[in-house]
Structure 1
Amino acid sequence: MDTIVRHSWLRLFLLSLLLAGFAQAWANAQTQPGRDEVPVLTIEGAIGPATADYVAGGIARAAEQGAPMVIIRMDTPGGLDTSMREIIRAILGSPVPVVTYVSPSGARAASAGAFILTASHVAAMAPGTNVGAATPVQLGAPAAPSTPKSSDQQADDKGTSSPAKSGGASEAKALNDAIAYIRSLAEMRGRNADWAEAAVREAASLSAKSALEQKVIDIVARDDGDLLAQINGLTVALGNGQVRLQTDGVRLTEVLPDWRTRLLSAITNPNIALILMMIGAYGLLFEFMNPGALYPGTIGAISLLLGFYALSVLPVNYAGLALIVLGLALMGAEAFSPSFGILGIGGMIAFVLGATIMFDTDVPQFRVALPVLAAIAVASLGATVLTMRLALRSRRSSVATGREEMIGATGSVLDWQGTGGHVRVHGERWNARAVSELHAGQEVRIIRLQGLTVEVEPAN
């Protein structure tokens, strides 16, 4: 019998694997573009880890499927430096040409978008779009006022301006690194490296027409059809050779983010990551307070792991993370050793301060929103007040367990003879004695407990 059951499970397992393989092959056949199909990736909004994963994966799949090229349709205000560099590495290492198209009209390729546009094999823009303003935000603050300088000093400043004079050493290093990076990309693609430097150093920005005139981009196209017509026959440098683009008869195929990218995009939102950490911390706390509840612990553990994963791909300030951990520890300590609010309020303050400085980035889209901080602070304060109320109520309530709980408890006489007998209290049989005669079935109340013998008196 065991052998039959074992073989049945084995057949079922093999059948499941076979069906999964067929399903995956069918899905690939449905989503795999042909040789005449050009995948179109869309970058819209701030560039983060999910965007980098989506673009890098799309370029890799296009290369595997033998697509003639990849088009990136872009409209972005910028994003994280690490994500931007991951996308650029995918473009530079791509075995198929990458065409970046700033579209539709009104779109922009600012900050990180300017770097990606510069790195692409073909840079195109739609009329009514702009590119530039690539200075890191923290370096773009106005300089402090200074004393007037002589004409000789002003001339010297114009000829030898250096970012280190207007900011700290760390700002100068970041600015010089960004300048060198975008210049190298522009020189690699044969584009205007001087303007690329100005886009970083001076936050310069250009319209589509001006960018074409100054050789910042290659093409100004009205729409996708115009773009394909203009790049047809264009030769681009790819690896160690030249590739001639052929767009006759090709079709554009929109590549949408898969579930993994959408999930990554959701949990790498700093607000969502912070909320997941709060749910995880309180879930585990409630599980420890009520062992065996299971639901709070399970949900809390999953949420906490998702929150930690989000932190692993986001730029995190470890001082802020340490404050958050301290805040969670203090709020947990309030639940187990009530301090009438001191630990809870201190934990709430530490948590909010940590959340404020935790994400080390100059991109507003990757900072914690003030309403979220306020909501977390209110929720933490509410949990602290609830813990205080429960602590005060427990101090006022009578003892429910142990020796003290037996005093005053009532029961009934099982049998009695003289001044001793047995009584039933809380379903248990106890030895009992009394100063007066009692009879079976009589209600009694415990007035004293000595070892395993209770002293009772009539309940009435």
Structure 2
Amino acid sequence: MTLIAIEGIIDPQVGGFVTRGIEQAASDGAGAVLITIDTPGGLDEPMREIVKSITASPLPVIAYVSPSGGRAASAGAFICMAADVVVMAPGTNIGAAHPVVYGVDLSSAEGEKVLNDSAAYLRSLAEASGRNADWAELAVRQSLSLTADEAVDQGVAEFKADSVAAVLGEVDGFTTVSKQLVVDTDGATVTEAAMSFRERFFHLVLNPNIVYLLFLLGLLALAYELANPGIGFGAIAGFSALALAVYALYILPVNYAGVVVIVLGIALLSADLFFPSHGLLSGSGVVSLIVGSFLLFDSSASFLKVSPALNLTLAALTALFFIFVVRAAVSARRLPDQSGRNAMIGEVGYTRSDLDPMGQVFVHGEIWSAETVDGEAIPQGEEIEVVGISGLMLKVRRTV
């Protein structure tokens, strides 16, 4: 038996992983597929991809909602209803499948179409698997949820089990409704499929909190690079973080107004460094960051929002970053250059040859070509002061 774990938001990486795992299980000659589910929901397209792979698989597919405290909400409920067998761990729940639609008002005519489509879809999946179709429809229309015991009692789940081993014991000999397969788990060994590194990485990146963190870090890195130009580490880090954030924002339901407000917040914080406003610009910038992060994702689902705690924390840290780090970098740039060629101005040395008005001088441990500023002839061995530089020629005068 192949075990496939779904944890967190259902996104394209999870969709691809589960689909590949189901297909690979059939190729490897596995007797069944066990999908463990703990998800608040996710995106519609990868959910439907998983549902199609489950219904098309020649193997019995078992959905196991676990561990205790876990849930199969929203998209997770659709995946469960598509499965041949549903088992729930104690302390889990299933349902709340009201559609999460991006940029569509569900009270509008278009929203009503989306709601009807989702309700009919979940109902059809439940009917095909011999489950409670009336509940399935209400789970969409009224966001109903059931506990593990209630799900078994109301014909939404077939069994309740507290471990994978218990699941194997419960489902052994069960005949599936839609595929008419007899589940044989007697003596079965469980092999867990693993996400690739790429899938794990981008699954992490597609977390809304991580997206906002990357977006903000990218902007901060670029702001620091502009305030303190150097060898480009800030620019490289900034563009890398922004590239990942843009990829995620392309996949997730982004609200571009939120993006604009966040960028405006960084601009206001930057402006306060050059146009002192007694904190007015900085305060406006912090408020813009907070408002922008709340607007960033166009979804009513809590799992597709930036955490309020993270939002406020990052706003405070960003303000401190500008106050102490970026401000220091800007102030350093405003200081006189104390290194390189300009450091020679004001240095005192002596002539190694007659200056009439050109010759050689010894300054700062080195021999330089020099010219007197007023054309005055200065004999060899006289003390001179550097008052300017033109190319590789020092401009000097006799010390007083």
User: TM-score normalised to the size of structure 1?
Assistant: 0.69
> Structure 1 CA distance, aligned partners of 2:390 and 2:20?
76
Aligned residue runs from structure 1 range 378-417, under 5 A: 378-385=316-323, 386-391=325-330, 395=334, 397-398=335-336, 408=346, 410-416=348-354
Measured after TM superposition, the shift of residue 440 of structure 1 is: 2.0
1:269 aligns with 2:172: no
How has the CA–CA distance of structure 1 residues 433 and 176 changed in structure 2, closer, same or farther, with 3 Å as cutoff?
closer
In 1: Cα distance, 2:88 partner to 2:373 partner: 99
Change (3 A) 1:445 1:453: closer
Matched, 1:215 2:178: no
Contact 2:270–2:322 (CA<8 Å) still a contact in 1? no
Distance in 2, Cα, partners of 1:222 & 1:58: 24
Gaps of 5+ in 2: none
- Summarize the Cα distance change of 1:453–1:368 in structure 2 as closer, same or farther, 3 Å threshold: closer
In 2: Cα distance, 1:449 partner to 1:267 partner? 53
Q: Which residue pairs with 1:58 in the alignment?
A: 21
Structure 2 partner of 1:130: 93
8 Å Cα contact 2:130-2:177 kept in structure 1: no
**Aligned equivalent of 1:431:** 371
CA contact (8 A) 1:287 1:293 kept: no
**Offset, 1:70:** 0.5
How many Å separate the matches in 2 of 1:409 and 1:115? Answer: 79
Residue 92 of structure 1 pairs with residue 33 of structure 2: no
Quote the Cα distance in structure 2 between the aligned partners of 1:405 and 1:250.
Answer: 78
Structure 2 counterpart of 1:457, one-letter code: R
Matched-pair contact (CA < 8 Å) for 2:268–2:282: yes
Query: How many correspondences in the alignment?
Result: 390
Residue 71 (str. 1) matches residue 30 (str. 2): no
Corresponding residue number in structure 2 for 1:312: 250
Q: Aligned ranges for residues 20-419 of structure 1 at < 5 Å?
A: 38-104=1-67, 107-126=70-89, 129-136=92-99, 167-169=107-109, 171-221=111-161, 223-236=163-176, 242-287=180-225, 293-327=231-265, 338-340=274-276, 349-385=287-323, 386-391=325-330, 395=334, 397-398=335-336, 408=346, 410-416=348-354
Over residues 309-346 of structure 1, what are the superposed CA-to-partner deviations in whole Å (9 max), with x where a residue is unaligned?
333332222222333445556667788xx334787766
Work out the CA distance in 2 between the residues paired with 1:123 and 1:98.
9
- Sort the Cα spacing of 1:433 and 1:314 in 2 relative to 1 into closer, same or farther, 3 A: closer
Give the drift of 1:267: 1.9
Identify which range, 404-413 or 168-177, moves more after superposition.
Answer: 404-413
Residue 96 of structure 2 aligns to which amino acid in structure 1? Answer: A
Residue 431 of structure 1 aligns to a residue in which SS?
strand
Residue type at the aligned position of 2:309? P
2 CA distance for matches of 1:223 and 1:389? 57
After TM superposition, give the deviation of residue 124 of structure 1 in Å.
Answer: 2.6
Paired amino acid for 2:115: L
TM-superposed CA distance for 1:400, in Å, is 6.3
Q: Find the aligned partners of 2:294 and 2:145 in 1 and give their Cα distance.
A: 31
Cα gap change, 1:198 to 1:358, in 2 (>3 Å): same
* Displacement after TM superposition at 1:107 (Å): 4.3
Helix, strand or coil: the match of 1:197? helix
Structure 2 counterpart of 1:58, which letter? G
Q: Which runs of 5+ in 1 are unaligned?
A: 1-37, 139-162
Q: 1:274–1:355: 8 Å Cα contact kept in structure 2? A: yes
Matched-pair contact (CA < 8 Å) for 2:224–2:326: no
Distance 1:56 1:78 in 2: 17
In structure 2, the CA distance between the partners of 1:333 and 1:201, relative to structure 1 (3 Å rule), is same
- Paired residue type of 1:125: M
Q: CA deviation at 1:185?
A: 1.6
1:394–1:222 Cα change, 3 Å: closer
Bigger-Rg structure (1/2): 1
Instruction: State the one-letter code of the partner of 1:250.
Output: A
Deviation at 1:58, TM superposition (A): 1.9
Identical positions, percent: 38
Residue 190 of structure 2 aligns to a residue in which SS? strand
SS of 1:117's equivalent? helix
CA contact (8 A) 2:257 2:296 kept: yes
Work out whether residues 386 and 394 of structure 2, in 8 Å CA contact, stay in contact via their aligned partners in 1.
Answer: no
User: Cα deviations across residues 104-154 of structure 1 (Å, max 9, x unaligned)?
Assistant: 55544333322221111222334554333333589xxxxxxxxxxxxxxxx
TM-score, with structure 2 as normaliser: 0.77
Q: Distance in 2 between matches of 1:108 and 1:393?
A: 54
Checking the alignment, whether the CA contact within 8 Å between 1:315 and 1:361 is kept in structure 2 is: yes
Post-superposition CA distance 1:3-49 (Å, at most 9, x none): xxxxxxxxxxxxxxxxxxxxxxxxxxxxxxxxxxx012233444444
Q: Aligned-pair RMSD on alpha carbons? A: 4.1
Verify: 1:441 aligned to 2:377, yes or no: no
Partner AA of 1:201 in structure 2: R
Name the CA shift for 1:406/1:76 in 2 (closer, same or farther; >3 Å): closer
Deviation readout 1:71-128 (Å, 9 max, x if unpaired):
1122344344444333323323333221112345554433332222111122233455
Shifted more, 206-215 versus 193-202: the winner is 206-215
Residues 177 and 292 from structure 1, CA distance in 2 versus in 1: closer, same or farther, beyond 3 angstroms?
A: same
Separation (CA, whole Å) in 2 of partners of 1:47 and 1:362: 16
